[in-house]
A = this chain, B = another copy of it.
């Protein structure tokens, strides 16, 4: 038994890790040389380089990441928060969109050498203050979210949606909301629909605010009545109820309000429905049918959703995908560029969406 085995006490002490000095000593070299050999830097003779490497391997040497970070001055750690704190405590990730955005962001970041630290929405300053974060990604902050300000105040760059545009140290990546909404409404129009209704969350998230605005603008441009039902809270239940309100046409129901509510049912029934609130497509479809509509016969249906169940229903539901993977990639690309090329100038990137047309929104001939 060579050196390296310690006094095998009954407590099996937490294995004192082998450090660079240990390898150097063992190999009869200096720290410098071993470090250079392992990092492929400096000018070393191939023989020495190999010897250092071999020894390190044999001794099971693994560099101390923290020491490296300290030396390097950055930890290659990124904080990741999903906005809309207050009410929904840690139930984030529940929507397919955030789930995929989160997964993709983590994967992309890691590939670029950055690790993602999950910061549940509503995390207190004190909880992340002890983390060596190079930057923080804040997805869909609410208008009243403290997080963006707190992070910026701490001198940490923020990457978020377009709502932070122009702020010092803040950068953004966002979807082209206007184009997205227009693509759906144009599609409805192409299919002959004339009385589309929008169901959108009544939130301060930029995305929802912009959807509302884009819809209003499009309606004005096309001389159509603006029909909107706003959903008070997230969750399948409220959204389904909002859909029912939209189809009933009346401005009643709890928590929801309908703007420009037209006359009763009958002649003025909606003929197309755009559900922007995250909801399960099968449930939406079921609700629509409960109200006596045939899809797509009486009503064209499009959901903004990443939910894979949209392809499994009968008929399959047309979805507008925000392409979370693309957003993640654009965001991390941007982040790496800013972090590694030092610009603190505010800047942004726009990512296009994609409309996956399925049977639910195609008028049969």
Tell me how far the C-beta of A22 lies from the nearest C-beta in chain B, rounded to whole angstroms: 14
Chain B residues near A309: list those with CB within 8 A.
236, 280, 282-283
- Is residue A62 contacting chain B, with contact meaning CB distance below 8 A? yes
- Is residue A308 contacting chain B, with contact meaning CB distance below 8 A? yes
Contact B93 A99 (CB under 8 A): yes
Q: How many copies does the complex hold?
A: 2
Interface core residue of A106, A113, A344 (most chain B CB under 10 Å): A106
- Is residue A32 contacting chain B, with contact meaning CB distance below 8 A? no
Contact B312 A240 (CB under 8 A): yes
Interface readout for A23-40 with B: 1 if CB under 8 Å, 0 if not?
000000000000000000
The complex places the Cα of A93 from the Cα of B92 at a distance, in Å, of 11
Known contacts being A12-B344, A91-B100, is A110 close to B120, with CB within 8 Å?
yes
- Is residue A54 contacting chain B, with contact meaning CB distance below 8 A? no
Tell me how far the C-beta of A154 lies from the nearest C-beta in chain B, rounded to whole angstroms: 6
Chain B residues near A286: list those with CB within 8 A.
282, 313
The complex places the Cα of A309 from the Cα of B287 at a distance, in Å, of 13
Contact B103 A120 (CB under 8 A): yes
Known contacts being A91-B103, A106-B119, A312-B236, is A129 close to B283, with CB within 8 Å?
no
Contact A90 B107 (CB under 8 A): yes
Chain B residues near A283: list those with CB within 8 A.
282, 309, 312-313
Cβ 8 A contact of A92, one of B66, B103, B240: B103
Nearest B residue to A109, CB-CB: B118
The complex places the Cα of A63 from the Cα of B270 at a distance, in Å, of 59
Stretch with Cβ within 8 A of B (4 or more), from A69-77, A179-187, A225-233? A69-77
Cβ 8 A contact of A236, one of B70, B89, B308: B308
Cβ 8 A contact of A64, one of B12, B132, B235: B132
Chain B residues near A91: list those with CB within 8 A.
100, 103
Tell me how far the C-beta of A358 lies from the nearest C-beta in chain B, rounded to whole angstroms: 14
- Is residue A4 contacting chain B, with contact meaning CB distance below 8 A? no
Known contacts being A69-B66, A69-B132, is A155 close to B106, with CB within 8 Å?
no
Interface readout for A80-109 with B: 1 if CB under 8 Å, 0 if not?
100000000111111010011011101100
Identify the 5 closest CB pairs spanning chains A and B, nearest first. A65-B132, A106-B118, A93-B99, A107-B120, A282-B282
